[in-house]
Amino acid sequence: MPNIRVASYMMDKGSLQAAMEKLFELGQRVIAPTRAPKGDIFFREVSDVSQIVTDFGNSLVSPVEHLRPPKEVYFRYELTEEGPPEVSPPPAPEPFVLFHLRPCDVAAVECLDHFFIERQPVDVLYQQRRQAATLIAMACVEPAAETCFCPCCEGGGPVAASGYDVQLTLVDEKYLVEVATDKGERIRALWEDLLETAPAELITQRDEQAEYAVRELFSSLQANMAAAVRRVSAETVTRETWEAIAEHCYSCGGCSFMCPVCTCFDVNDVKFDDNTGMRVRQMDSCRLFGYPREAAGAIRGFETPYRARMYAFHKLGYDHVLERGRYGCVGCGRCIMTCLGHMGMPTICKLARRPPVAADKAPQKS
């Protein structure tokens, strides 16, 4: 959903609390980052501003899960004595506000929009949720975590260029508030008293700040994704490289379950009793052993190296880049956080660009 216009406003740093409080006045569900008892960050529906946390790195589970849930009901059914079974679709999702997405999550939503809505046929379940959602992004001033590498992904970076309804960026003691859509306009109206028109210098200052962050602060991880995309698309990455990558793969599927861009799912029926049940779709991962399972449970020799390449090709292969409008990686670093074999996307890119010299030389953690 491209932005038609961006209007810029300014808000005091201290007004954020008041701004968050006002979100509840909208009468919509508010989904925001919350801290679980052991410190993990999850995006959950909140009823009070005190539940919202803003001081966190990057959440392991992306807020995108509220647009593309890991498990979603297609319909419930009831078998009848005579006549066809009765099926009922789930109720349409109610409008909600998704607060504090990071620019990588916004980029992921753009990928999903492209895949599920713009690329025919439209996935109605996703479309319904997407239309119900108002996205309020919080741009990053510095890398949210040491695993971040968004500037390596085409069009990515610590500030989202598009895809959000409202974006806040902290510049010194002020927030630059950008309003991009009609949904965002409703949020602006809500924050009317807190906002004033942003001076042009604030925008310049924000841009310089982002440029500085990309140049100086994100230097630890270099994925050089464009080069990897070329090599993967041209299918010049050797079998040995995929085998080296697969050697570090436990086929746990974590990298795709945590990935905000991954879309694959499986469809299953769940029985409540003999006559009732539901059909659900659940996230699936091409890294799992059973993913390429065919009729009657046959798996035709798609070993881990093949599936590792499938994963990389679906994200970086040029045909899929076209299908999605951009790279299938937004640099959020969640694959690095979750991979037991230290084989996150930057490492895959590194190996795809430069094959391992010797088979016994294990790749180092990025």
What is the DSSP secondary structure assignment for residue 249, as one 8-state letter?
A: -
351 φ, ψ (degrees, to nearest 5): -70, -35
The whole-angstrom separation of Cα 162 and Cα 356 is: 38
Binding to other proteins by CB under 8 A, coded x per residue (else -) over 155-194, reads ----------------------------------------
Task: State whether residue 117 is helix, strand or coil.
Answer: helix
Contact flag: residue 355 with other proteins (CB under 8 A): no
**Where does 18-70 show beta strands of DSSP type E?**
29-35, 41-46
Q: Which of 77, 8, 26, 17 is nearest to 53 (CA)?
A: 17
Burial class, 26, CB count within 10 angstroms (exposed 0-12 / middle 13-18 / buried 19+): middle
**Where does the chain show beta strands of DSSP type E?**
7-12, 29-35, 41-46, 71-78, 86-88, 96-101, 133-138, 166-171, 174-179, 196-197, 265-271, 276-283
The CA distances from residue 212 to 16, 104, 115, 205, 216, in Å, are 25, 18, 32, 10, 6
Contact flag: residue 362 with other proteins (CB under 8 A): no
Binding to other proteins by CB under 8 A, coded x per residue (else -) over 289-328, reads --xxxxxxx-----x-xx--xx--xx--x-xx--x-----
Using CB under 8 A as the binding rule, the residues of this chain from 214 to 243 that contact other proteins are: 235, 239, 242
Contact flag: residue 9 with other proteins (CB under 8 A): no
Using CB under 8 A as the binding rule, the residues of this chain from 116 to 155 that contact other proteins are: 116, 119-125
Binding to other proteins by CB under 8 A, coded x per residue (else -) over 245-264, reads ------------------xx
The whole-angstrom separation of Cα 270 and Cα 76 is: 9
Contact flag: residue 357 with other proteins (CB under 8 A): no
Count of residues that bind other proteins according to CB under 8 A:
52
CB of 242 to other proteins, least distance (A): 6
Respond yes or no on whether the N-terminal peptide bond of residue 69 is cis (omega within 30° of 0). no
The whole-angstrom separation of Cα 294 and Cα 231 is: 30
Contact flag: residue 266 with other proteins (CB under 8 A): yes
- Our CB check for other proteins shows the closer of 122 and 189 to be 122
Candidate segments 56-64, 187-195, 269-277, 331-339, binder of other proteins by CB under 8 A: 269-277
CB 176 within 8 A of CB 203: yes
Among 22, 114, 230, 281, binds other proteins (CB under 8 A): 281
Among 54, 118, 172, 267, binds other proteins (CB under 8 A): 267
Using CB under 8 A as the binding rule, the residues of this chain from 25 to 44 that contact other proteins are: none
- Our CB check for other proteins shows the closer of 252 and 288 to be 288
The whole-angstrom separation of Cα 314 and Cα 309 is: 8
Using CB under 8 A as the binding rule, the residues of this chain from 62 to 101 that contact other proteins are: 74-75, 77, 79, 83-85, 87, 89
Contact flag: residue 359 with other proteins (CB under 8 A): no
Contact flag: residue 114 with other proteins (CB under 8 A): no
Q: Kindly give the interhelix angle for 225-233 and 345-353, rounded to the nearest 10 degrees.
A: 60
Q: Which residues bind other proteins (CB under 8 A)?
A: 74-75, 77, 79, 83-85, 87, 89, 115-116, 119-125, 235, 239, 242, 263-269, 271, 277, 279, 281, 284, 286, 291-297, 303, 305-306, 309-310, 313-314, 317, 319-320, 323
